[in-house]
Amino acid sequence: MIIDLHVHTQEVSGCSNVSVEDMIDKYHAKGYDAVVITNHFCRYTRDFGKFEKWDDFVDFFMVPVNRGREYAKKYGMKIFWGIELRFNCDYANDFLVYGITEEFLKEHPNMLDMSIAEFSPLAREAGCLIYQAHPFRDWIQVIPPKFLDGVEVNNGHPYQNSRNDFARLWADANGLGMISGSDFHQDGYEAHGGIVTFKDIESNEQLCDILRSGEYNLICDKTGGLSR
């Protein structure tokens, strides 16, 4: 399975201009079997929708996931999801969280007011995995490894200096897991990252099992194309 681990859509992420359906069309054309929708989960997203009630915000966040799952059936693709989390106390630090559930989000209406030190044990108790996204971009603070399961060592965003080589060195030096994602936002951003695994994955839980096992290879492809 070829899977992109870092994808945004316009329904939730205001920085994206591609609908979930158009995103799926693009990834199918590039030969991917699955994508993980990781829209921004932060104060700015909540303000964007002007949601006063937390549950309404979570429901809004799930819209492209549910729409995408239905639409992807036409291609036999799988749609998984996580969040790109930014706490209110952080200026620029982002965390890709996999294995999170809608129930977990609704049970923690104060999670944006937490720090990574407070959130990490809660997430791990719930079976989630936490990876720091693009940890060596400008303005981003490198997080103590004890709060993380890994880092994004290949971020395929074409207009950001993510210093992927530094991220890989940091992961190696600290025994952290490594992931790769396109950081898809717009047309032309697709298929610049992800993983390849020989295991069939049907759920978010199975995706986490694969990430924990390390039974995958990283895609670090700046050309935007893959061949089978």
Residue 160's domain is classified under what CATH number?
3.20.20.140
How far apart, in whole angstroms, are the C-alpha atoms of residue 70 and residue 145?
Answer: 37
Is residue 208 domain-resident? yes
Residues with pLDDT less than 70, the chain: 221-228
What total number of domains does the chain contain?
A: 1
Q: Which domain holds residue 45?
A: 2-219
The two structure tokens encoding residue 130? 């936490």
Is residue 225 domain-resident? no
Is residue 227 domain-resident? no
Residue type, 78: K
Predicted local distance difference test score (pLDDT) of residue 222: 54
Predicted local distance difference test score (pLDDT) of residue 228: 32
Is-contact 216 206, C-beta < 8 A?
Answer: no
Q: Is the pTM of this model over 0.75?
A: yes
The model's pLDDT over 178-216, given as tens digits with 9 standing for 90+, comes to 999 999 999 999 999 999 999 999 999 999 999 999 999
- Contact residues for 76 (Cβ-Cβ < 8 A; gap 6+): none
Is residue 224 domain-resident? no
Is residue 226 domain-resident? no
User: Among 182, 93, 90, 155, which residue's Cα sits nearest to residue 130?
Assistant: 93
Residue-level length of the chain: 228
Is residue 124 domain-resident? yes
Predicted local distance difference test score (pLDDT) of residue 37: 98
Is residue 78 domain-resident? yes
